[in-house]
Amino acid sequence: MRFLVIILFLAHCGGITFAQELSVKTGTLPAECRTSPQQFASGVIYAEAEGGVPPYSYQWQDMVNGPLQTTNNNVSGQIAGLYVVTVTDSIGDQVSDTLVLDSISPAPDFEIISNDLTFDNGIYVGFEKAKIECVNANKEFLAVPFPPPDHTYFWNLNANIDEHWTPKYNYEELDTTYAKGLHHICLAETNYNGCSDTLCKTIQILEFKNNIGSIYTNQGLDEITITNPTNKEDLKIMIYSISGQLVLDHILNGPIDFLTFNVAKGVYIFQFINTSNGDCLSAGKFLN
């Protein structure tokens, strides 16, 4: 909000008397985003004069479309843009200010809820047949005074392979399961004026294998313990970060190995590999 001042004075035979300062305070309430005029504009611009010599009149100028046909200090139903208000008091003194009326764009948001997934480094990680719930987190419509935003939501639960978008209104909860692979869940939000935005979240689903060994983090020692209960030969362990970077590749020497693991805290993925043929015998994740 801006505050502009003009100092007025009155001259007479007794000397100079300073009048109260003429000032104007301005502000805006943002408009609904528009790419096509399907709804009435919803932005508000306003000004409040003080000082000078009342009463005041207000002239508004849309810097793209020209003068507004009003002398009110509060003007609704405006599109986003640049405006100038000029305030004139009863003795003809003026003060002006420039206002930038912003627009509010759709901003989709949703939550992924699952006991089968771990969130780390921006990705959800789990194993085959992980069950998840997607919940629209847009609990309130945008705060524009008029008209109602009338937003519509579209879900794509497997955007990397499927071009089909399902319209779901309100705040629907969607249950689904996922097989091995990388999956992108997306929620698109659009309004009647043609503005839209899309939010996607990534799920990495790993193939489930019968367990061969286990990994334990030795807290405070920068070390992990790897167990190979069957003392299987030709076995190695490979550990990856969530982003897929290999951080450890080690051939097991017996039923128990103690290995230095000086890496950042977070979730890591492991595989037990048969060194003779390269088969993955077991896979999982652990928290370091």
Report how far residue 23's alpha carbon sits from residue 264's, in angstroms, rounded to the nearest whole number: 57
Q: What pLDDT is attached to residue 139?
A: 61
Q: What pLDDT is attached to residue 13?
A: 43
Quote the DSSP letter at residue 115. Answer: S
Report how far residue 104's alpha carbon sits from residue 268's, in angstroms, rounded to the nearest whole number: 39
CB-based contact 286:217 (threshold 8 Å): yes
Q: What pLDDT is attached to residue 2?
A: 52
pTM above 0.85, yes or no: no
Q: What pLDDT is attached to residue 12?
A: 43
From the number of C-beta atoms within 10 Å of its C-beta (0-12, 13-18, 19+), residue 252 rates as buried
Q: What pLDDT is attached to residue 72?
A: 93
Q: What pLDDT is attached to residue 97?
A: 96
Q: What pLDDT is attached to residue 67?
A: 95
Report how far residue 3's alpha carbon sits from residue 223's, in angstroms, rounded to the nearest whole number: 62
Q: Which of 46, 95, 94, 53 is nearest to 68 (CA)?
A: 46
**Domains of the chain: residue spans and CATH:** 3-104 (2.60.40.10), 110-206 (2.60.40), 214-287 (2.60.40.3580)
Checking 246-252 for CB contacts under 8 A at 24+ apart, the result is 250/226, 251/275, 252/213, 252/226, 252/228
Question: Low-confidence residues of the chain, pLDDT below 50?
Answer: 1, 3-15, 17, 143
Reduced to 3 states (helix: H, G, I; strand: E, B; else coil), residue 56 is coil
Report how far residue 106's alpha carbon sits from residue 198's, in angstroms, rounded to the nearest whole number: 9
Q: What pLDDT is attached to residue 182?
A: 83
Q: What pLDDT is attached to residue 10?
A: 44
Q: What pLDDT is attached to residue 95?
A: 95
